[in-house]
Amino acid sequence: MATYGRRFSRMVIGYSIGFAERMGMEIIVVKVDPIDIEYTKTLGEYTNVLSEKFKEKADEEIWGFKKSAGEKGICFRHVVKSYI
């Protein structure tokens, strides 16, 4: 499953965990940094700072999803992708 931006709704999390459990699959979550490549020209050196902050926040926001999957014995991977 992938998201462009921040959070997953509880409904999406519940559905994903239920589906993975029924199908015997793992969950791979991909979060994409919303910083557009065109903005990097404007933001300059702050682009990397914002990208790092996004990665940190993404890791913080996903812990509940990861915990819920782990409680069901579902393998969970989290990938954060940046355009930079």
Measured distance between the N- and C-terminal CA atoms of the chain, rounded to whole angstroms: 21
pLDDT, residue 1, reads 67
Distance CA 1, CA 54 (A): 18
CB 9 within 8 A of CB 59: no
pTM: 0.74
Give the mean pLDDT of 44-52: 79
- In the chain, the number of structural domains is 1
Span 12-28, pLDDT tens digits? 889 999 999 999 999 99
Residue 40 pLDDT exceeds 90: no
> In the chain, pLDDT over 90 holds for what percent of residues?
35
Give the mean pLDDT of 25-53: 79
Boundaries of domain holding 13: 2-81
> Which strands make up the sheet holding 2-4, listed edge to edge?
2-4, 27-32, 76-81
Residue among 59, 13, 55 at smallest CA distance from 34:
55
